[in-house]
Structure 1
Amino acid sequence: METALLAAGHTVTLLTPASGPAHPPPGIRAVHTIGHWDDLDALTALEPSLPPVGAVATIDEQCIVAAAHLRQLRGLPGLRVDAAHRYTDKHAMKNALDAAGLPVAAHRLVHHADEIPAAAQALGWPVIVKPRAGAATWNTFVVRSEAHLKELVAAGAFDARVPDITGRFHAGHALDSLHEAADGFLVEAFLDLADEYFVDLYVHEGEVLLAAPGRYDQPLLRTVGSASYDTVLPPDHPEARAVTDLARRAAAALGAQTGAVHCEILRTTDGRLHVGEAAARPGGDCITELTGLMFGIDVPTALAALAVGERPALPTEPHYPALTAVMIAAPPGTVTRVATAETIAQRPGVMSATINLRPGEPVPATAGTVTGAGRILYHPHDHTRLDREVAELRAALDIQVTPAPAAAASEH
C-alpha cells in the first residue's frame, strides 16, 4: 500500500517496530520506530515528533488499534479506537455482533485453563479456545472434554508461544500463549460446521463499493497443518448472496467507515449462517490477490485511495466463474523432489505458481494456516469438480520429502 501511495504522489512516513526492516521501500521520506504496537502511552509520547500528515493507514492486523490511536491524537478521519478494538478484540467483537442481533457463537472470557470446565458447563462440551487477538488460527483449538483438557494442559498447549515464521509479529501479542494474555482468552461454543466462507468488503464512508465473496475448501480449523485452498466466487453465486449480506451487516455493526473489511462467515450442518470473525483489513494469504484478478482491479492502488479518503471506481463484474489459490503443504523434513514453478505454470488453468521447496533443503516452517511452501493461483475448469482438479494439481507437484529425524522416530 505504501508503494501505491508513493506512486499516487503522496509523501509517506513509515512507523515500524524498532527491530523492523533496516531498509524501507525507496521513496519513504522518514521512518519512525515503536517498541510495541499496543504500547499506546509510547505512541502518545512519540506523536509530537511525527511530521504533519493527512491520514494514518495500515492493513496490518496488529497495527489497527495503534493507527486509530494516532488518528484520534491528530484529529484525523478514519476508524476510531473503539471500533478498532471491536475489530481486533474477539470478546468485544462478539459482544457487539450479538448486541446487533447477528448470529454468533456464544462465548465466555476466562484467564486460565482451570476456568474452562465451568465455561464448558454453561456452553456444552466440546468447546473452542482462542485468543482475544490473533491471526491464522494461532492458539485456536477444540477441547472435547475435561479429560482432553488435562491432556492439552500437560502437553503445554496453553503455555506455547507461536513461532514467528514471517518475522513480522514480534511487536504485537499475536504470538503470545493463551496463559500469557493479561486480558484472558475466549472459550467459545463449538459449532458443527459444514462450510466456512469469507467476504472482503471495500468501503468508502460506509458505502460498500465492492463485496468479494469466497469460500475455504473446508472450515479453517480442519486445515491447520494440512493442504488447503481458497476460492473467490462471483457475487451472484447462489452460495454467496446470503453470506455477503451477513458480512455487510457485521461490518456495519462493528463500525465500517472507509477501508477494507474481511469477514468470515460460518455455515453449520443445519444450514444456518453465523458470523465467525471480522477484521479491518483485506483478507490474508492469496485472497487479496485473487480479488484483484477476479475483478480486474489493482488492489494496492484501491487501498491507497481509500487510505486517503478517496472513492476509487471499483468494477463489480467478475472476470471468471471462480478463482482458486492452492496452498502448497509438505511434511517436515528435507525435500528430495518437487516440480518446478515453470512446469506447474504450463498446466491448463494455472495463472501463476510460487514454489518455495528446493531439493536438498528443509521444508519451510508452518504456523496455523500460514504455510511457507508456496501457492498456485488457478482458474478452475469446472467449479463443481474443484476438489478433483486441485488433487490433480497436487499430484503434478510430485513432492517427495525425507522426514526429519524426530518426525521419523515418532512414527515407530
Structure 2
Amino acid sequence: MHVLVLSTGNPLLENALLTAVHTVTVLQPAGTAALPGIEQHTVEHWDDLDALTALEPGLPDVAAIATIDEQAIVAAAHLRQLRGLPGLTVEAATAYTDKAVMKTTLAAAGLPVARHRVVHHAREVASAAGELGWPVLVKPRGGLATLNTFVVRDREHLKELVDAGAFDARITDPTGRLTAGHVLDSLHGARDGFLVEQFLDVEAEFFCDLYVHRGTVLLAVPGRYNAPLLQSLGAASFDTALPPQHPEARQVADLAARAAAALGAQSGVVHCEILRDRTGGLFVGEAGARPGGGSITELASVMYAFDLPATLAALATDQAPDLDGTPRFPALTAVMITAPAGTVTHVPDRDTIEALPGVLHADIRLTVGQPVPTGIGTMTLAGRVLYVPDDLDTLDQEVADLRAALDIRVEPLTTD
C-alpha cells in the first residue's frame, strides 16, 4: 500500500510502514529532512488548509494518509477528505486537537470535564474567572506538553503574570520539530483565543492509551503519572502502567473509551489524560488522536509484549493488529532522567544500570563532558529507565532508591 505520512521529523511511523513493505511518501515542514530514498513534499504551516488544498493535486496517489504527530492531525484529515479516503474526519480531528471544541463535545456527551471559557486577551480572564471561580487554569486551545499552561490564583496574581509577560511569551523549541504549528505561539498570539478553565484540585493524574480499530478498542493501557503534570514540570517524574485489574485502571480505561467514542471513531491510537480531584471524582482532562508522548508507548508495548512499529503500521493502513491484552508484569514504570543544568561529570554505563534490581532497560542520553540536554514542557531529553516495581504502595521510595543508585553527577553552570 502507498501511504502519505505527515511528519514533524520523528520517523517512527515511516520506518514502521517501510518495514511492513509499504510505499511511503512524506509531507514535512520545509527545511526538515526525510528518510533516504523517500519522496518528500513540504509544507510551511500545518494549519494553512488553503495551502494544503493547493498542494494536494501534486501529491501522489495513495491509499491512506496517516500521522502520529499532534500538529498534523487536522492537516491529515483535510487531505483525506479532499481525496475521499477513510479515516478521521476534519470535524473529529478538530475535536481531538482544539481543547475548546473537545470539552464542549465531551460535555455534550455527558462526560465529566472542567468548565471553560474562550478568551482572546488577559484582560478577559478576570471576567471568565468571575463565572468559573478563582483560581482558574489558563491554556492554549491547541498545544502539547503543558506548554503555556498555568494557574492564575486571583486578580493580583493575574496582574503579576501580565506584567511578567506570561501571556506574550513565545516558547523556545530545542527539538526543532514544532515550528510549523501554533504550539509555540504566545497566548496573546493565538489566532482563535485561548482557554480559561475551571481549576480542579487535582490529586492524581492518569493516562490511558487506546489501540482502536474502526472504533473498537483492541487494547487499553491505563497508567498513572507520579504526580499531576502541572505539579511535576521540571521535576524528576515517572510514569507507571497499571495492571488492568487495578480498580483505578478499570475506571480510567472506561472513561477514556467513552471519551474516544464521543470525539470520533477511527483506526489508530487515542491518548487520554484522566484527572482525579480531591473529592474522588474523575474528569477527562483531554484526549489526542495519537499515541502518548514520553515513554507511554514503550510502557504499553513492553507491558503487553507487542511490536509497537508493526502495530502503528497496521492501524495506519486500517488493519487490525493482533494484540493479546495479557500483561507481562504486575506493573511497569518508566523513570525519567532529569539533571540540573550544567556539564555531565559522571554517568554509569547501560550495563551497570541494567544490572540493578528491577531494571529492565536503560536509555541514558547523557554524555560525560557534554551539557545536560534541555527539555520542553513535560518532555525530557535526558533518557529513562524501565523498572518493574516490587509494590505500588512503595513505588515512590523504590524510585528514589533507583535514582540514588544511578549516581548521575553534573557540574552546575556558573555565573561570572
Unaligned runs of 5+ in 2: 1-12
Between the aligned partners of 1:369 and 1:273, the Cα distance in structure 2 is 22
1:255-278, CA deviations, whole angstroms, 9 ceiling, x for partnerless residues? 022111001100111111000000
1:243-263, CA deviations, whole angstroms, 9 ceiling, x for partnerless residues? 111101000000022111001
Structure 2 match to 1:355: 364
Q: How does 1:40-79 map to 2 (within 5 A)?
A: 40-79=49-88
1:360-389, CA deviations, whole angstroms, 9 ceiling, x for partnerless residues? 322211221111111111111222211111
* Aligned partner letter, 2:166: A
Matched, 1:137 2:146: yes
The one of 185, 200, 203 equivalent to 1:191 is 200
Between the aligned partners of 1:154 and 1:384, the Cα distance in structure 2 is 43
Structure 2 match to 1:364: 373
Q: How does 1:1-400 map to 2 (within 5 A)?
A: 1-21=13-33, 24-28=34-38, 30-400=39-409
* Aligned partner letter, 1:19: G
Aligned residue for 1:177, secondary structure, equals coil
* Aligned partner letter, 1:103: P
TM-score between the two structures when normalised by the length of structure 1:
0.96
C-alpha RMSD of the superposition: 1.2
1:144-181, CA deviations, whole angstroms, 9 ceiling, x for partnerless residues? 11111111111111111111121111111111111110
Between the aligned partners of 1:349 and 1:399, the Cα distance in structure 2 is 19
Between the aligned partners of 1:227 and 1:188, the Cα distance in structure 2 is 27
* Aligned partner letter, 1:81: V
Between the aligned partners of 1:43 and 1:398, the Cα distance in structure 2 is 50
1:106-132, CA deviations, whole angstroms, 9 ceiling, x for partnerless residues? 111111111111111111111110000
Q: Is the 8 A contact 1:339 1:396 kept in 2?
A: no
Q: CA deviation at 1:399?
A: 2.8
Q: CA deviation at 1:321?
A: 0.6
Between the aligned partners of 1:276 and 1:139, the Cα distance in structure 2 is 16
Poorly superposed stretches of 4+, deviation over 4 Å: none
Aligned residue for 2:222, secondary structure, equals strand
Between the aligned partners of 1:35 and 1:364, the Cα distance in structure 2 is 27
Between the aligned partners of 2:383 and 2:43, the Cα distance in structure 1 is 31
Q: CA deviation at 1:27?
A: 4.9
- Range moving further from structure 2, 287-296 or 230-239: 230-239
TM-score between the two structures when normalised by the length of structure 2:
0.95
Q: CA deviation at 1:26?
A: 4.1
- Between the two proteins, what is the percent identity of the paired residues? 66
* Aligned partner letter, 2:29: P
Q: Is the 8 A contact 1:83 1:255 kept in 2?
A: yes
Aligned residue for 1:239, secondary structure, equals helix
Aligned residue for 1:51, secondary structure, equals coil
Between the aligned partners of 1:215 and 1:368, the Cα distance in structure 2 is 18
Between the aligned partners of 1:218 and 1:195, the Cα distance in structure 2 is 6
Q: Is the 8 A contact 1:323 1:378 kept in 2?
A: yes
1:172-220, CA deviations, whole angstroms, 9 ceiling, x for partnerless residues? 1111111110100001111011111111011111111111110100110
Q: Is the 8 A contact 1:123 1:188 kept in 2?
A: yes
Q: Is the 8 A contact 1:260 1:281 kept in 2?
A: yes
- Range moving further from structure 2, 288-297 or 330-339: 330-339
1:332-377, CA deviations, whole angstroms, 9 ceiling, x for partnerless residues? 2222333333321211111111222233322211221111111111
* Aligned partner letter, 2:61: P
Corresponding residue pairs, total: 404
Aligned residue for 2:104, secondary structure, equals helix
Q: Is the 8 A contact 1:6 1:27 kept in 2?
A: no
Between the aligned partners of 2:60 and 2:89, the Cα distance in structure 1 is 20
Between the aligned partners of 1:178 and 1:326, the Cα distance in structure 2 is 31
* Aligned partner letter, 2:343: T
- Range moving further from structure 2, 114-123 or 336-345: 336-345
Between the aligned partners of 1:261 and 1:331, the Cα distance in structure 2 is 33
Between the aligned partners of 2:341 and 2:170, the Cα distance in structure 1 is 19
Between the aligned partners of 1:366 and 1:7, the Cα distance in structure 2 is 30
* Aligned partner letter, 1:14: V
1:290-334, CA deviations, whole angstroms, 9 ceiling, x for partnerless residues? 100011101111111111111111111111111111111112222
- Range moving further from structure 2, 63-72 or 379-388: 379-388
